[in-house]
Structure 1
Amino acid sequence: MLDSSPAIVDAIYKRFARKVKHMVTGWGGNIKEAATVFEDVLMALYDYAHLHKLTLTNRFEPFFLYACQLKWKQDLMQKAPNKGMSFHPQAPAPGLDEQHIRYIEAALASPHPRHSTDHTRGELEEMIADQRERWFHTKDGPNSRVSVYVIITAIIGAGLAALLFISPWHKDIYRQFSGTEMVHANHVSSEQDTALIMHQAAVAFNHGHFNKAIGLLDQIIVRDSSHTTARYYRGVSLVDEGKMTEARNDLKKVYNSNSIYRYDAAFYMALSYIRENDKQQCLEWVLKIPEDAPIYWKAARLKEELNY
């Protein structure tokens, strides 16, 4: 990074952009805020390492992801203090020692002096700007500009459609809350590699090709029936395909395990009942989700939609 290496910056985005996006959006943020967290951490680490001796002996993954969590907590404390207080950054396995945590805290503590002669920093900023469009693209980006006239026309048209054809009690709550992304790492390996199949399943899942994702995840679960990550995403896919019995079988197994997706599974159990207009069963599953669960903010919003 100190050399503004395009290959290094590209590798960091490839490996961690989706994970940071998932973390931020899972804790009440949006894609733009995830991009800002990612970029602010990169620049903070660059500035700190440019001025101090920074020697990493721990793996970079827990170092960087913990820094992103800590940065998001700082932002969350400004945006929503109550939610920020409930968010507790934790370095992914194998964790970090105290020295590396101090590095991160110092890097994020305050702005560092910048020198106008630091051309490398300018190059790094340009690379990061290019990566934002690639990894954190939103519909509000520069490639989707439309005229004010078109926007107004669309709003009026949507409003008329709502008044004429859509009753408020018929809105699709499932579609409102069901969006999620399958987190994965990029792998290049043989076709028999479980990690590669997971990667292929994630690509299919994230593009909305749920039947294809189910077929790939089936292969994983046949090999390892205790693979709760595969079982969770297969359950979510099955809900979207309307196969509720099979979906609930998967999601219940994940909920009854020690998986990190345990409460996410409970949330999708609730959504499965929404698809059948069973608000009582939906509420029962929503109430199983504790306040310290990452998915709780969505569960609280769903509970409001149910008028409870």
Structure 2
Amino acid sequence: MLDSSPAIVDAIYKRYARKVKHMVTGWGGNIKEAANVFEEVIMAIYDYAHLHKLNLTNRFEPFFLYACQLKWKQDLMQKSPNKAMSFHPQAPAPGLDEQHIKYIEAALAAPHTRQGTDNTRGELEEMIADQRERWFHTKDGPHSNVSIYVIITAIIGAGLAALLFISPWHKDIYRQFSGTEMVHANHVASEQDTALLMHQAAVAFNHGHFNKAIGLLDQVIVRDSLHTSARYYRGVSLVDEGKLMEARTDLNKVFNSRSIYRYDAAFYMALSYIREDDKQQCLEWILKIPENSTVYWKAARLKEELNY
């Protein structure tokens, strides 16, 4: 977790997301609250381990699930104190020793002050935001507006294609799979601050103003050519604007890096070929996406659409 490893984060969600969801909903919560508990516990453990060099000697599963129970009890005390009093967190077998329980209590007790910029924490937050839609999907979740936008634009695109008597295949498929949201943190700073530029780019991107987003991301990349997050979202924006060769240059660089977005970049490379009705090249890029990546489920659905 301290290295913001995508494989580790993905494994945590695969193993424990359903258990936490059932625990929270079984004790008076909803899916959104379950997602909040899961995410806040991950970040609390990260912050505590980052400051205190935490080294677990107990198994991670009881440690993490007990932390989620304790966090939900804290939330439940605010929401329904009477119900919270009857909820008693208990670590799953084989349990936890007293020291590890103290670690959890300390991690959840209060926010931990961080010194300077922590890029790894930012990457971890972005991965968690991507996982929320996959494991804690809800109609009133944070991505509902994006989903509605994708559906509406897909319908409009198909309708216009029919009216203009042109083949709608690549436009329909592209619009069906191209919806994404640029993850960012709210930020207030001077105009010279790269984080502020990323925030402004995210606002433009998430409102579908891709040309504006590209201009802002250009400024970020001029300052930091290794900023793979900026390069990835610029590539996505360029695909949507139909500037496919420029988009592929960005997406190729992200794919060939160690960025957390490398397989997302591969997915958008595939979508760029959808825009040219090139099924074979699209399939070749889909096959580069491994099963343990967060975008694999979308890649598998796209492959089905291609009838492979």
- Report the TM-score when normalising by structure 2: 0.56
The aligned residue for residue 178 of structure 2 is 178
Q: Distance in 1 between matches of 2:295 and 2:49?
A: 18
Q: Is the 8 A contact 1:267 1:285 kept in 2?
A: yes
Letter paired with 1:300: A
Distance apart, 1:236 and its partner CA: 0.1
Amino acid at match of 2:199: H
Determine the structure 1 residue equivalent to 2:33. Answer: 39
RMSD of aligned Cα (Å): 4.7
Pairwise CA distance, 1:105? 1.5
Aligned residue identity for 1:136: P
Q: How does 1:110-259 map to 2 (within 5 A)?
A: 120-122=78-80, 136=142, 138=144, 169=169, 172-259=172-259
Q: 1:223 to 1:138 in 2, by over 3 A?
A: closer
In 2: Cα distance, 1:178 partner to 1:93 partner: 36
After superposition, give the CA deviation of every residue in 1:88-111 in whole Å (9 maximum; x if it has no partner): xxx997896538965541144699
The alpha-carbon distance between structure 1 residues 64 and 176, as it changes in their structure 2 partners (threshold 3 A), is farther
1:12 aligned residue: none
* Equivalent residue, structure 1, for 2:65: 105
Q: Is the 8 A contact 1:63 1:96 kept in 2?
A: no
Per the alignment, residue 43 of structure 2 pairs with 62
AA aligned to 2:34 is D
Distance 1:36 1:168, change over 3 A: farther
Please give the TM-score of this superposition, normalised by the length of structure 1.
Answer: 0.56
- Contact (CA 8 Å) 2:201, 2:212: kept in 1 or not? yes
Query: Is the CA contact 1:62–1:93 (under 8 Å) kept in the aligned structure 2?
Result: no
SS, match of residue 253 in structure 2: helix
Residues 42 and 298 of structure 1, relative CA distance in 2, 3 Å threshold? closer
The within-5 A match list for 1:17-56 is 36-40=30-34
Distance 1:292 1:100, change over 3 A: closer
C-alpha distance in structure 1 between counterparts of 2:143 and 2:294, whole Å: 23
C-alpha separation in 2, matches of 1:100 and 1:183: 32
Deviation of 1:64 (Å): 7.1
The alpha-carbon distance between structure 1 residues 303 and 121, as it changes in their structure 2 partners (threshold 3 A), is same
C-alpha contact 2:170 2:276 (8 A) present in aligned 1: no
Ranges of 4+ aligned residues in structure 1 off by more than 2 Å? 35-38, 40-45, 63-66, 91-104, 107-114, 118-123, 132-139, 164-171
Matches within 5 A, 1:240-279: 240-279=240-279
* Alignment partners' CA distance in 1, 2:42 and 2:70: 23
Is 1:221–1:227's contact at 8 Å kept on the other side of the alignment? Answer: yes
Amino acid at match of 1:260: I
For residues 203 and 233 of structure 1, what CA distance do their matches in structure 2 show? Answer: 12
Once the two structures are TM-superposed, the CA of residue 134 in structure 1 deviates from its matched residue by 8.7
Could you list the per-position Cα deviations for residues 186-215 of structure 1 after superposition, in whole angstroms to 9, with x for gaps in the alignment? 111111000010011011111111000000
Indicate if the aligned counterparts of 2:37 and 2:68 stay in contact, CA closer than 8 A: no
Shift of 1:40: 2.5
8 Å contact 2:210–2:237 — kept in the other structure?
yes
Change (3 A) 1:192 1:171: closer
Structure 1 position 169, deviation (Å): 5.0
SS in 2 for 1:246: helix
Distance in 1 of aligned mates of 2:174 and 2:38? 39
Change (3 A) 1:112 1:289: closer
Unaligned runs of at least 5 residues, structure 2: 1-11, 23-28, 84-137, 149-155
- 1:39 partner letter: E
Task: Map Cα deviations across residues 229-278 of structure 1 (whole Å, 9 max, x no partner).
Answer: 10000000000000001000000000111110001000000000000101
Are the counterparts in 1 of residues 184 and 198 from structure 2 also a CA contact under 8 Å?
yes
Q: How many residues align?
A: 215
Deviation for aligned residue 1:301: 0.5
Aligned mates of 1:108, 1:60 — CA distance in 2: 6
- Distance verdict in 2 for CA 1:240–1:96, change over 3 Å: farther
2:271, 2:188 → 1: CA distance? Answer: 35
